[in-house]
Structure 1
Amino acid sequence: MPGYIEDRWYKKGPDGKRTIPTDRCNQGKRYRVAGVPGVRDRSFDKLTGIDGAKAWLAKAQHESTRGEFIDPRDGTMLLREYVEDHWWPNQNYPDPITRATMRGKLRNHILAHLGAKPLNTIKTPQLRAWLKTLNATLGPGTVNDVWGALSSILQAAVDDERITKNYCRSQRTVRPPARPEPRATAWSREQVLLVRSHIDSRVQLAVDVGVGAGLRQGEVFGLAVEDIDYDAQVIHVRRQVKKVGSKLVFALPKGRKVRSVPVPPHLLQRVREHLERWPAKTVTLPWGDPEEGATEKEMKERAPRTFELLLTSARGGAWRRDYFNDTLWKPALEAAGLIGPPEEKKRPIAGKPGRFRTVKRYAEEREMGFHSLRHTFASVQLDARENVVAVSKWLGHADPSITLRIYAHMMPEADGRGRTAMQNWFEGDTKKISPAAPRVLEAPVPVLSDTPQEQGADVPDSLAVVL
């Protein structure tokens, strides 16, 4: 096989033994492995042993023949250097929010702890210590995301032939915590009305649309006059207002899916009353990304667009979600007695020595967020036995399975009907068993309608019962 070992210190004498010193004798490492195709030369202190020249030559010859040789010296590059110079520049995140989120994970949770380590040293012990640090400060969902990001980086390093193994993927003893299953919590009608009564009248429509059409908060803020179809009694969800860094943009709804949601006349009347009192205002924002495009295509896609928004801030601009939540939503929750008072701190005012401003910070409670209105919409629809495929479409989910995973516990009598079916099966009452039962029954099974109206269910005519 190709390849050889050179003794740099001694050469053979007349007797065939290496006894004649060379000019490099006792300088540097004695043995050099060379001549293996596709493998850089490498020097060693010892000839034999697991870390000697002969063992290295045998390994290099074998892996070179199979096309699998990876020089471990390529893995000495620091993780930070690899990410910043090789991995990150080749990542493509069309959504600027996703790009900013990934950059934050890299900076705060990966490079901050592992950035100074060579790629080939990130193994089980290092991952175990890193995971312990993350678990002490972050929630399981975030830890799971960060672990996945590091795994992607290390896998790219494997593909780039810098390391031989991605230890994030081969772990049996060190694994990130499982992502918690989402469990939505709906509000009662009384809670919705209580919060609506305590929030500023200019934005009461936000509560109405959130609970009456199931829109996300950014979609509520991006709702325009042209999106309200009074004749068809639907709201078209075509855009949202997003915050990218410190700037606002218009963008497609989450998942880049537009949709139409049927709404009750009661909600459309609320929209009319709101516009009579507070006419819509024209707002212009970039589309998708506030940064100027690098190509003509990007510049065209990101060009500012103008819409007549139903809900705008006091100055006439689009609402910023964090400002809305801190100044209107959470104070309304406090006034309604749903959350406690905020923690107040005094902070110095920049450029004004001796002067301070009071900052209020509410405790984070996911069950009290604006998104709870969307959960309430879903609960009313499912409680009325609306088709889950239709509800999924109205919510803008990519697949009905997502709707089931989040809202299955809100579907009524699921366990009760199943319990009754099994009781009838044990008792042999074939006439009461669903056609989905095992086909061991000899008697014909009547087909029962799944339609609530035919089953005599009390189905609300509209969402007015919530509003």
Structure 2
Amino acid sequence: MGTVFKRCNHSSDEWSRCQHPYVIRYRSLSGRQTEQGGFRTQTKAVSRLSEIHAAKSQASSSSGFRQERADRYGRMTFKEYAEQWRLGQRHLAPSSARHLDSLLKHHIFPVLGSRRMNSFDHRVVDDFIRTLEVADTGLATQSNAFDKLSAVLTDAQRLGIYDFNPTDGVKPPQYTPGRATIPTVEQLRNIRQIGDDRLRLICDLMSGCGMRNSEAVAVNIDNIVADNVYRITEQVNQATKDYDRLKHRKSGEYREVPLPPRIRQSIEQYAAEHGSIDGYLLRDPRDSSRPFQPYLLQNQWQRLKRANRAAIPDGMVLYSLRHFFASRCLQLRIPITDVADWMGHKSLDMTFRIYRHLMPGSIKSAAESLDFALVA
């Protein structure tokens, strides 16, 4: 366990009467010989030595358990480990879970599925990215696959398989969303004219309130909480085909968006002409007990594009109507933080990457403002 002694010329029989302090000597966890002194009595010195021994025993036991766990999980293949990790991702929305399963099945498991977990390092991760590049995998998919791989390896690091994260030092795929195609006011007017009442309502909700198409088809007249405020509380989930929580939100959470008077009038007029069920304006045309499905809207959009190429030019998609809302807000110098909140983006970075080119130049306006202030 260790030794207790004094640094003086007195014999051990005289230590109890000697005024010199006791010293203890022991080996640390690293095996290095270590000493501590200053103990006035032998009892205190022995007690301290016992504490150190107990702490070493506990640390040794913990270290042994950690090593045993690292050995057990480290021998697993990546596919085996990732499948266990996947069971813990219960917080994912159905669409996100489906996307994760697709990435694992089609992009990650074919390359890394049979590799032992304890064989990962930064070279293995870098080779994985190069494999995706050689296969001409899209940058968005590369970026998403790297994020999921990182999540699994980070979990393994916490479990003790690695003393380091194998993704450290690896340059991730750089995905930058392309510039959004944004309809002009005239194009927006043409789209409203060629569509039926349902498409016009959805067009108004997406371009005037910034809703996603899955949110627009869940429009409810009871969600008009003020003359100029609409509360978005749910969407129609494309996987479950039923009403569900908002993207990037927990169940019961909502976001409130500006409601221009013309859009409020559009909602109220549609309700007056077509009625509503429990406040919902849009229902499945074949079964009014079910929500209106976003794919039906997408089908109608494609038919309109084929029949009206002049009104809906190439490159314009249904989602472009939502981009119109964001572009107008930014051109009106509304803070991008507010726009990101209204759009329901997960982070401000996403809003900035998509719409940065639409923001008015700030250098010129800053120079003019500063010049005015300095003169004043």
Q: Any idea what the Cα deviations from partners look like across 1:22-63, whole Å, max 9, x if unmatched?
A: xxxxxxxxxxxxxxx9xxxxxxxxxxxxxxxxxxxxxxxxx9
Determine if the alignment matches structure 1 residue 221 to structure 2 residue 247: no
Partner of 1:238: 233
Q: For this pair of structures, how many residues does the alignment match?
A: 311
How do 1:34-433 and structure 2 match up within 5 A?
Answer: 67=63, 70=67, 74=72, 75-84=74-83, 86-123=84-121, 126-135=124-133, 136-163=135-162, 165-171=164-170, 175-181=171-177, 183-229=179-225, 232-244=227-239, 247-256=240-249, 257-280=253-276, 282=277, 307-315=278-286, 316=288, 317-325=290-298, 327-337=299-309, 367-397=315-345, 403-418=351-366, 421=367, 433=371
Aligned Cα RMSD in Å?
3.5
How far 1:205 sits from its partner (Å)? Answer: 0.8
Please give the alpha-carbon distance, in whole angstroms, between the structure 2 residues aligned to 1:120 and 1:400.
37
Amino acid at match of 1:112: P
Instruction: Report the TM-score when normalising by structure 1.
Output: 0.58
Please give the alpha-carbon distance, in whole angstroms, between the structure 1 residues aligned to 2:177 and 2:296.
29
Specify the SS of the correspondent of 2:215.
helix
Decide whether aligned partners of structure 1 residues 111 and 389 sit closer, same or farther in structure 2, where only a CA change above 3 A counts: closer
Please give the alpha-carbon distance, in whole angstroms, between the structure 2 residues aligned to 1:434 and 1:387.
23
Q: Any idea what the Cα deviations from partners look like across 1:281-316, whole Å, max 9, x if unmatched?
A: x3xxxxxxxxxxxxxxxxxxxxxxxx4321223222
Q: Any idea what the Cα deviations from partners look like across 1:105-146, whole Å, max 9, x if unmatched?
A: 222221222112222334455444432332224321221121
Specify the SS of the correspondent of 2:238.
strand
Amino acid at match of 2:282: L
Amino acid at match of 2:307: A
Specify the SS of the correspondent of 2:242.
strand
Decide whether aligned partners of structure 1 residues 65 and 319 sit closer, same or farther in structure 2, where only a CA change above 3 A counts: closer
1:195/1:336 contact within 8 Å kept? no
Please give the alpha-carbon distance, in whole angstroms, between the structure 2 residues aligned to 1:191 and 1:121.
56
Please give the alpha-carbon distance, in whole angstroms, between the structure 2 residues aligned to 1:408 and 1:205.
28
1:234/1:260 contact within 8 Å kept? yes
How far 1:98 sits from its partner (Å)? Answer: 2.3
Gaps of 5+ in 2: 1-28, 30-58
1:238/1:259 contact within 8 Å kept? yes
2:187/2:311 contact within 8 Å kept? no
Decide whether aligned partners of structure 1 residues 121 and 274 sit closer, same or farther in structure 2, where only a CA change above 3 A counts: same
Amino acid at match of 1:149: K
Specify the SS of the correspondent of 1:235.
strand
Decide whether aligned partners of structure 1 residues 333 and 415 sit closer, same or farther in structure 2, where only a CA change above 3 A counts: farther
Please give the alpha-carbon distance, in whole angstroms, between the structure 1 residues aligned to 2:328 and 2:117.
52
Gaps of 5+ in 1: 1-36, 38-62, 283-306, 342-364, 425-430, 436-443, 447-467
Amino acid at match of 2:284: S
How do 1:434-445 and structure 2 match up within 5 A?
Answer: 435=373, 445=375
How far 1:259 sits from its partner (Å)? Answer: 2.5
